[in-house]
Structure formats: C-alpha cells, structure tokens
A = this chain, B = another copy of it.
Amino acid sequence: MRYSEGRLLGDLALDRPGTVSLQQQIAQQIRSRVRDGRLPAGTRLPSSRTLASQLGVSRITIVGAFDELVSEGFLQSRHGDGTYVSQEWRQAFAPRSPEPRPHLSLRGSSVLSSRGFDLFRRAPTAWAPEHAESFLPSQVAIDTFPMSLWTRLLTRNAERREAEMFGYCDSHGYLPLREAIADYLNDARGIGCTAEQVVVCTGAQQAFNSLAMMLTDHADVVWLEDPGHIAARLAFETMGCEVRGVPVDDAGASLAGAERLHPRGRLTVLTPARQHPLGVTMSAARRAEWIEWATRERAWLIEDDCDSELRYRGSPLPTLFGMDRSQHVIHVGSFSKVMFPSLRVGYAVLPADLAEQFAATVSILGRSPATALQAATRDFIAEGHLHTHVRRMRSHYLARQEALVAELRRQLGSMVTVDEVSAGMHVVCWIPPHLDDQWVAAELARRGVHTYALSDYCVAQQLPPALLIGFGATRERRMPEAVARLAEALREVVAD
C-alpha cells in the first residue's frame, strides 16, 4: 500500500505549549493509529522532510519520532525506500471479531480454583466504601490525623537522594524505622525487644500470610479464636491449614475449651489486648496459661496486638511477647489504625532467630513498603507525634463511642442491645434473635449503611445475631443523623 507523500499524517494535532514534547506527541499519535488500524501494516509513511514542513516542526523532531517507533517495532525503515508500518502488527491488531467473547464459565474447567472461588466468596465485600463516614469497624478517624505534619515528614524523606531510598530496601525493613518501632513498643507496650527482632511489612494481614507460609504445612491444625480475625482465617485456610475454633469467654480465648474440642494445634492466633471482635481483654491468668501451653507443646503463639493503644478504661496488661520466656510468641501490629489505612506499614516482632526467615518470607510475598514511607513513619514515631496522636485519638474515640451508644439506645430502644467497649473502634450491637445477621448486614449495605455481621467472624461457634458497628469515622455531632439512617434502614429490613 502506498500513499502519495504528504497526504498522510498531515492532520496530527499538536499541542504546542504542552508538557509533552512535540516528538513524543507525534510518536504517540502515529503509534495509536498503527494500533487501531488507521495506519495498516505495510503503509508507507511520508518522508520526514515532507511531514516536518506540513506540521511546521523541525525535521529532527520527525526523525526522532520515527526512530523511536522503529526501535519499538511499530515502524520499519527500508534503506533508500522510506519508512513503513511494520508487518508484525497486522495480526495483532486485526479488528476484534464481532461475535461475543466466550463467557467466563466456558473458559476453564473451573475458572477459578476451588481455593480461589472460596476466597472470593468470603473476601469482605466492602474494602473501600465510598463514604469516609461509615459504620465499618475498620474505618478510622481520618479527619483528626495531623495531615500537614505528615506531609512535611513525607516530603522531607521524598527529597532524600541516598541510594537506599530508591533501591530494594533491606528485607527486614528500613533500619531506623525498626529502631523506632522497638523503642515505641518497649516504651508503650513493655515488649522488651531489639530492632533486630523487628521486621517491617505492609500490615497485620501480610504478617499473617507470611507466618502461615513459614510456620505451617498443608493440613496442619491451627487454632484461631472463634469468633476471630477474618484476615487470619483466610491466611491460614489459603495455605491449606485445618482451622479449629478456640471458644472465647469473659476472660478471653479459652485454652481448656480448645483442648477439650480439638487435636493439638501447631499454632494459635490470639488477640489478648482486645479480643477481636468481641472486645474482651484476656485475663493475666489466661495469658500465663497460653504461654505455658506453647512452651510445653512447642507450639507457636501469634499475638495480634490490635487496638491495644485505643483503650478507654482499665489498664492494659503486659503483652504475651513481654511475658514469654521461651521464645514461642510472635507479636504482630500495624499503623493502619493508629495512623491511617492507606499507609500500609505494619510489623512483626519475633524471637531473634526467626527474624531472618520471616523477612525472607515477606520478601517472597511482596517485600516491605516503599522506603520513603518507612522513613516518614520512622520520623512520626521517633519525634513523638505518634504518641501524641494516639493520646488525642483516645479521647476522640471515647466521645464518638459514647455518642454512638447513646443514639443507638435512644433511637432503637429495646430493638437492640449494645454495650460500651473498653477498647477498640466498634461496639457489638445484638439484634433480635430470630434474624440472620449476615442477611441483615447485606440488606443494610444495599441501603448504604455499612456494618459487619458477627457471624462472619465465626469458625464453628453459633452466636446470637449481632452487628459490629464502628464509631471511628463518625463525629459526635453527626452521630444522631448517621444513627437515624441506620435505624431507618434496620427498621425497614426487620419489617421485611
């Protein structure tokens, strides 16, 4: 195919004061015409001189654009004969066939694997609710975060030119951050660890996945609190473990209950600071029992210290990691809640001789977070801002909780039973016993009100129906209105 010179491409639209160079603009438009078939394979392009004069640009610009497209394979240069659209693109960009593509279910014997299907069915649907103000227990008070301060810290670190800020980070994480985390945990939680025992990851979820990978084999029995962490259960089930539920009573996860029900677990995940999701604090006696069990059985205890900083009443008890003398405890935490979720920085504290293995596993799963973020987080902690922020959040959250509980009681009366919690960011709201809480939560979500169903957290336990209602993202003064929306939707659903 031949076009007489100059007829082609004379209509390229150039944005002259644009941020993109003329050469790039020209290359880009030719590329896109090759792609969509407007310039078919074999087309001979105008000479650089002709095109330059037509477009009113220098010939060097055209030659540069052509060279670029030749090196990318879009064009071919035939010596002494000009420049052609490459033949290779004929097949690739033939117009798509007009008949409908095969439906997904026709494509694979089973399109997802059983594991994939199960995962997808159970992945919480509302990871990213559109409204910052929602009742999801995972929503934090973004409105109170010191954003200008944070921007300053991030900018300061983004401006750093050292190679370590750009290359692959130490697989254990950025050392100054690990030092700051060790200091913070020693100080606020009495952990008693060194920076060598701290490994940075992208959050508690990545930590669970890594631990499942490195500490369990297919079909190993794992004990998880029932009800308990959805993320932890997904991690261990995905790795092929047999998950068994540890009953939870007023003193926290019950070892006696688990031993009565199940064969020995290779490991247990516990939330002693604030049982997730019921909110119970594990008693000191129970803590000692579990540590004794892990030592005797040579099993692992994974301590998820979630919400330990957000405690409104009573004293925090020592951590399992701090109490343990036999090095069977791994302590997991995250800054997603005490700072903000999109940060994606968390950590594990491990017995010294496990840190290397954990870091290698995190590397395999996807490595630690971007170094500039780790450095800014380090400054936020080491300069005392985290401490100040957590203290301020404690009083914000306490006020929000009180407003939520008061409004629920006022607006819903005897329809629900709700107790204040001494820590964390959500209350458990028991609904009439004949209702299915998963159905209720789904119906509420359809009406724009986002909560979680308690039974989603259960392994085998049958509990009365309840909703987990987060108060983190809703200011006191907006609570009456927010609860009114919830109450209206709930009344509608119950009347159905």
Residues of A within 8 A of B (CB): 19-21, 24, 28, 31-32, 35, 68, 70-73, 76, 86, 88-89, 91-93, 96-97, 101-102, 104, 107-109, 111-116, 119-120, 123, 127-128, 132, 138-140, 142, 145, 147, 150-151, 154-155, 158-159, 161, 163, 165-171, 186-188, 190, 192, 201-203, 205-206, 209, 213-218, 220, 231, 234-235, 238-240, 266, 284, 288, 298-300, 311, 314-319, 322-323, 325-328, 340-344, 351, 353-354, 356-357, 360-361, 363-367, 369-373, 383-384, 387-388, 391, 394
Contact = CB atoms under 8 A, between A and B. Distances in A.
In the complex this chain forms, how many copies of it are found? Answer: 2
Given A120-B214, A147-B161, A341 B127 contact: no
Contacts of A357: 112, 116, 120
Contact of A116 (B123, B213, B231): B213
B316 A167 contact: no
Given A96-B325, A104-B353, A108-B300, A372 B119 contact: no
Contacts of A93: 190, 192, 318, 322
Contact of A107 (B115, B328, B344): B328
B35 A186 contact: yes
B167 A217 contact: no
Contacts of A311: 71-72
A327 B394 contact: no
Given A120-B360, A155-B158, A315-B88, A240 B240 contact: yes
Please name the 3 residue pairs, one residue from A and one from B, whose CB atoms are nearest each other, closest first: A73-B315, A92-B318, A116-B214
Given A91-B323, A128-B171, A167-B341, 5 more contacts: A113-B220, A115-B218, A205-B367, A209-B364, A239-B239
Nearest to A28: B187
Contacts of A360: 119-120, 123, 127
Contact of A128 (B91, B139, B170): B170
A215 B112 contact: yes
B120 A387 contact: no
A167 B325 contact: no
Contact of A119 (B19, B203, B361): B361
Contacts of A216: 113, 115-116
Contact of A166 (B116, B145, B168, B220): B145
Given A145-B166, A147-B161, A163-B142, A213 B115 contact: yes
